Amino acid sequence: METTTRPAVWPWISTVARLGLAAVWLVAGATKIGDLAESARAVNAYDLMPYDVAKVIGGIQPFLEIALGLLLLIGLSTRLTAAISAVLLVIFIAGIVSAWARGLRIDCGCFSSGGELAAGRDTAYGLDILRDLGFLALSGILLWRPRTRFSLDGVLMGER
C-alpha cells in the first residue's frame, strides 16, 4: 500500500516546486525589467567582466528570468527549464561567493536593483546563498521528478 501512495504525492510536490520556482523567476525578472540600465549596473557591481558585457547580460537577464517563470508557470519543458534554472542559480551563487570572498559590499540584485551598498548597510551574502540554495533545491526536485499537475507537459503527454 505504501508503494502506491508515495508515488502519487510526487506530482503534487513537484507542482509546488514548479509554481514556487516560477514565482521566483517572475518576481526577479519583473523587479529588473523596468530599468535595464540599473540591471546592467547591478551585474557590473560584481566586477567579473567588462562593463559592455555586463550591460548585455543585465539587459537580457530580466527577460530570461521572466521566460523561465512563464515556462514553469504553464509547465512546458519543465525538466529543461529546471536545468537552465539550476545552471543560472549555480552561476548566481558563484557570483555571490566571489563578491563575498573579494570583500565587495554589494546587494546581489536578485530581487532589487542591486549594486553597491549605501554606507551603513551590511551585506547579506550568507542569507542570499542559502536562499539561492533553496531555489536550487526546487530545480533539483523538478530535474528528478518533472511530472507535475496542471501542466502543459501533462496535457501534451495525455496525462490528467
Phi (first) and psi of residue 140, to 5 degrees: -60, -40
Average pLDDT taken over every residue of the chain? 91
Cell of 37: 540600465
104 Cβ contact list (under 8 Å, min separation 6): 45, 46, 47
Work out the burial of residue 120: count CB atoms within 10 Å of its CB; fewer than 13 is exposed, 13-18 middle, 19 or more buried.
exposed
Please give the pLDDT value at position 160: 54
Q: What is the pLDDT of residues 117-159, one digit of tens each?
A: 777 678 889 999 999 999 999 999 999 999 999 998 877 777 6
Assess whether pLDDT exceeds 60 at residue 3.
no
Query: Could you give the CA distance from residue 23 to residue 138 in angstroms, rounded to a whole number?
Result: 12
Whole-angstrom Cα distance, residue 75 to residue 86?
Answer: 16
112 pLDDT band (50/70/90 cuts)? confident
Q: Over 60: is that where the pLDDT of 65 sits?
A: yes
pTM of the model: 0.90
- The pLDDT tens digits for 12-46 are 999 999 999 999 999 999 999 999 999 999 999 99
Question: Nearest CA to 24 among 108, 88, 110?
Answer: 110
